[in-house]
């Protein structure tokens, strides 16, 4: 990391708070599907919860972009954190007072996803308000690496805690990490308290559509959006498949489920540490497409892997490819989008692939119940490889992609 980034107090406080918050997210990622599985024993119901998460993200994404671009981003993120803190505490208290309540999981998942979407849009814009443009890849790499470390430890701890104290109480840990995130945000100041606003006022409809217009006026972002939407459809239910595969098909205890996810996160850690260096040496296109191919091959092989140890190694390679692709996608939007549009462009991007995500989760989990999770995982891997082939012949296959010549003049 550059010395100036290492000495950036505001960014480092933000980074520390989000790392601890990510540890809680890792608890929730494992605990909520496990809670549904324990209550119902159904892979399809796990898919329903994943789909509800997507629906909440979709609804919030439609309105979240304009809110983030016009509000004080820091204060908005703090409110989202406090809201999630209170919301996720409902599950352990509900389980304690009334016993298993599946409807409570549905409600918390839906509302929590909405707050997560708005916070996430603010998170993307926060990085550009904390570091210089030339440091965005390094900053995202640091955040991605620490996020992955959290997801290495989080599933391990969640599995142990769920087995010993009950899955609902692991979700309570997630709730308190949102409080820590809110505290860290209260201690920093963004370079701009709110995003720069355009000189000409926009109508409500035009404001909502500004991000969509920006994405689809650019061949680069148009391809990026379509490919990410395809990935969302085919891979949103992967975690459900893996959890069901390890716990039910392979008859492994909850701790082993956490172990598989924890080990796999090492791949994302390595990606975060090496990303900036790899991008400088290989260029954007080769690195992005390579991430897709690596993820696809790993998922394809997980479907035929005979043992948990092999699955863990393959999942590590999949996580490396997924983290590399995801961070590069986020970085490109941050680098090429004007700041006053970044919230709306991010919301539009996430909203568009929030549509196929829930549908894909339902289709994939039902498909997995019909043909078996190993076959379903291999099919997902094959489709990810196909998307990598499409990306090879797209504007994304460039060393330094640019949308300057195709971005809409009125938006930019």
Percent of the chain, pLDDT > 90? 4
Rounded average pLDDT over 97-109? 83
Domains with residue ranges and CATH for the chain: 7-188+204-392 (1.20.1250.20)
pLDDT digits (tens, 9 = 90+) for 255-300: 777 778 777 778 888 887 888 888 888 888 899 999 999 999 998 8
Q: With 80 as the cut, is the pLDDT of residue 44 above it?
A: no
- 236, 50 Cβ separation under 8 angstroms: yes
pLDDT at residue 379 greater than cutoff 90 = no
> How far is the CA of 25 from the CAs of 19, 83, 170, 192, 399, in angstroms?
10, 15, 10, 28, 33
Task: Quote the pLDDT of residue 83.
Answer: 92
pTM of this structure: 0.65
Find residue 236's DSSP bridge partners: none
Residue 332 pLDDT more than 80?
A: yes
What pLDDT is stored for residue 294 in this prediction? 92
pLDDT averaged over the chain? Answer: 79
Among 149-158, 168-177, 187-196, 390-399, the minimum mean pLDDT is found in 187-196
- Is the pLDDT reported for residue 82 higher than 90? yes
Q: What does the pLDDT look like over 117-175, one tens digit per residue?
A: 888 888 888 888 887 777 787 888 788 777 777 767 776 677 777 777 777 777 887 78
CB 87 within 8 A of CB 111: yes
Residues in Cβ contact with 324 at an 8 Å cutoff, skipping those fewer than 6 apart? 271, 275, 278, 287, 288, 290, 291, 294
Distance of CA 39 to the CA centre of its chain: 26
Three-state secondary structure string covering the chain: CCHHHHCCHHHHHHHHHHHHHHHHHHHHHHHHHHHHHHHHCCHHHHHHHHHHHHHHHHHHHHHHHHHHHHCEHHHHHHHHHHHHHHHHHHHHHHHHHHCCCHHHHHHHHHHHHHHHHHHHHHHHHHHHCCCCHHHHHHHHHHHHHHHHHHHHHHHHHHHHHHHHHCHHHHHHHHHHHHHHHHHHHHCCCCCCCECCCCCCCCCHHHHHHHHHHHHHHCHHHHHHHHHHHHHHHHHCCHHHHHHHHHHHHCCCCHHHHHHHHHHHHHHHHHHHHHHHHHHHHHCHHHHHHHHHHHHHHHHHHHCCCCCHHHHHHHHHHHHHHHHHHHHHHHHHHHHHCCHHHHHHHHHHHHHHHHCHHHHHHHHHHHHHHHHCHHHHHHHHHHHHHHHHHHHHCCCCCCCCCCCCCCCCCCCC
Range with the lowest mean pLDDT among 158-162, 230-234, 321-325, 339-343? 158-162
Q: Which of 288, 350, 349 is nearest to 321 (CA)?
A: 288
């Amino acid at each position: 990391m550059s010395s100036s980034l290492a000495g950036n107090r505001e960014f480092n406080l933000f980074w520390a708070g989000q790392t601890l918050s990510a540890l809680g997210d890792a608890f929730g990622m494992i605990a909520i599907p496990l809670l549904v599985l324990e209550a119902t024993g159904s892979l399809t119901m796990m898919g329903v919860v994943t789909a509800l998460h997507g629906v909440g993200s979709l609804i919030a994404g439609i309105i979240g972009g304009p809110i983030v671009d016009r509000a004080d981003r820091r204060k908005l993120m703090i409110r989202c954190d406090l809201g999630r803190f209170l919301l996720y505490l409902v599950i352990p208290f509900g389980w304690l007072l009334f016993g298993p309540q599946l409807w409570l999981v549905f409600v918390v998942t839906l509302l929590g996803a909405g707050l997560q979407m708005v916070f996430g849009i603010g998170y993307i814009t926060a990085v550009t308000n904390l570091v210089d443009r030339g440091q965005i890849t390094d900053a995202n790499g640091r955040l991605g690496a620490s996020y992955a470390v959290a997801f290495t430890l989080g599933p391990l701890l969640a599995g142990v805690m769920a087995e010993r104290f009950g899955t609902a109480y692991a979700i309570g840990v997630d709730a308190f990490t949102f409080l820590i995130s809110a505290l860290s945000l209260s201690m920093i100041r963004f370079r701009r308290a709110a995003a720069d606003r355009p000189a000409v006022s926009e109508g409500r409809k035009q404001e909502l559509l500004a991000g969509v217009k920006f994405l689809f006026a650019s061949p680069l972002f148009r391809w990026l959006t379509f490919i990410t939407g395809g990935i969302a459809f085919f891979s949103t239910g992967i975690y459900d498949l893996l959890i069901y595969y390890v716990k039910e098909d392979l008859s492994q205890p909850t701790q082993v489920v956490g172990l598989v996810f924890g080990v796999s996160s090492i791949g994302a850690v390595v990606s975060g540490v090496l990303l900036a260096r790899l991008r400088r040496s290989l260029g954007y296109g080769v690195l992005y497409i390579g991430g897709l191919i690596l993820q696809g091959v790993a998922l394809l092989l997980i479907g035929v892997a005979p043992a948990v140890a092999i699955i863990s190694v393959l999942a590590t390679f999949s996580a490396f490819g997924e983290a590399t692709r995801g961070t590069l996608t986020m970085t490109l939007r941050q680098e090429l989008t004007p700041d006053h549009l970044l919230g709306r462009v991010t919301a539009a991007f996430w909203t568009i692939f929030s549509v196929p995500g829930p549908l894909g989760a339902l289709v994939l989990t039902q498909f997995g119940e019909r043909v078996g999770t190993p076959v379903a995982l291999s099919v997902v891997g094959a489709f990810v490889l196909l998307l990598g082939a499409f990306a090879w012949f797209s504007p994304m296959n460039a060393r330094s992609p640019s949308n300057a010549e195709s971005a809409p003049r009125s938006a930019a």
